[in-house]
Structure formats: C-alpha cells, structure tokens
Amino acid sequence: MPSEDLDLARRMSARDERAFAEFFDAYFAPTYRFALSRLGRDEDAAQEVAQAALVRAALKISSFRGEALLFTWLCTFCRHEVSAHLRRNKGLGRHVELREEAGEVRSALEALSSEPPAGTAAASRRDDVVRAVHHTLDALPRHYGDALEWKYVLGLTVREIADRLGLGPKAAESLLTRARQAFRDRFEAHGVEP
C-alpha cells in the first residue's frame, strides 16, 4: 500500500536501520528479476545492477513522495543502472528490449497453454507472458504478489497465508480477492512495463 511505502520511506529517511533491512528484504528479489529480464539473464550483472539500484534509491529515499508504488519508483533507478551497465560493457548484445504491449489476460493465458518449440515466435511470446506475469506480481502493492503466488503456485491454504501476513482468515481471503483484481487491472493496463 502507498501508506506502507511512505511509512517505510519515512523510517529510512530517519535512518532507522531496521527500515533499511526491510527495504532490502522486500525489494532485492523483485529488483533483481527486473534487471535479470533486461540483461539477457546474466545473473552476475543482474545482481550488480540490482544492488546498485537499491543503494542509490535508498540514498534518495527522502525524495519519494508516494505518488507511485515504491517498487515503481525503484524501477526508475534500476533502469538507469541497467543502461549504465550496458554502456560500460558496450552493450554486449545482451540487452533485452521489453515490449510495452498491454496484456490481455485471456490471450496471455492462451499463450501459456502450450509448450511451443524453443526458438519459435510462440516460445518467445510465452516467455514474454511469463515475465509479464512475474513482473506484475512484483509491481502489485506489497503482500498482494506474495499472497497470489503462495496461494496459486505454492498451494498454501488461506489460513497459512493469514498466518504469514499476521491477518485473520477473513482478512486474508479479502486480500486475495483484492489482489486478483489488482493483478488483472495492472496486467491489462501495463503489460510488461510498470
């Protein structure tokens, strides 16, 4: 939630060490994935870029106004670091240009319904959709993406999700409903890019 993001930003601005740890825990993996998909799956490069983006964002956290989600704001730093990395390494032909097509849930689902041979356009489209789904999960308000993944990929029960989030079962159910709607809205509006 934006208020959560603002609260975290305020605590970091006040140099609360626990807030910096929370920031890293919440955003390293999503930022790493964001970088990984733009650096030709180079894991070392993605780590360097993600950690640099987190540091730069953390040091400018006082300029975060909560007008967008914190992760969306963080992605602007990550894009800059990706560009800088590619400039330093002369591109190396590994940069992945992500298409900014809006995702239509039904057609995306169709793209995932088959296992096309590697190297085909259909396989590329499938990869794009998987990446877009993962990015959409990362770009949702905190806990929404995790709750959806816990429930529908890892198979946790509502009660287990509730326990993880410190909520009651009803509240967890409600959160899942909101998360599904938020996922649909975001996926259809933004597709790959935040």
Partner 1 sequence: MDDASRDDGDEDEVVSLVRTAGARPNPSAERTADARAFFDAAWRAELRQRRVRSVWLQAAAVLAGVAALAVAVRLGAPRPPAVARTPLDASVVVARLDAGLVECEGASGWRSLGAGEPLSAGGRVRTRASGAGFRVEDGRSVRLAARSGLVWDAPERLTLESGAVYVDSGRSEGAGSAFEVSTPWGAVRETGTQFEVRLEATGLRVRVREGRVSVVGQAPAIEVARGTELRTGAGGVTQRAIPVHGADWSWTLGLAPTFDLDGRPSHELLAWAAREAGWELRYADAESRRRAEAAELRGSIRGLRPDEALVAVLPSTGLPHRLQDGVLWIGPSEAGSR
Residues that bind partner 1 (CB under 8 A): 15, 20, 24, 28-29, 32-33, 36, 43-44, 46-48, 50-51, 54-55, 58-59, 88-90, 105-106, 108-109, 112-113, 129-130, 133-134, 137-138, 145, 148-149, 151-154, 157-159, 169, 173, 176, 180, 183-184, 187
Cβ 2 to partner 1, closest distance in Å? Answer: 22
Cβ 16 to partner 1, closest distance in Å? Answer: 12
Query: DSSP letter at 99?
Result: P
Q: 62 Cβ partners below 8 Å, 6+ apart?
A: 9, 13
Q: 124 Cβ partners below 8 Å, 6+ apart?
A: none
Residue 79 has φ and ψ, to the nearest 5°, of -60, -45
Cβ 26 to partner 1, closest distance in Å? Answer: 12
Which amino acid does the sequence have at 83?
Answer: S
Q: 82 Cβ partners below 8 Å, 6+ apart?
A: 35, 38, 39, 49, 95
Nearer to partner 1, 5 or 158 (CB): 158
Nearer to partner 1, 67 or 155 (CB): 155
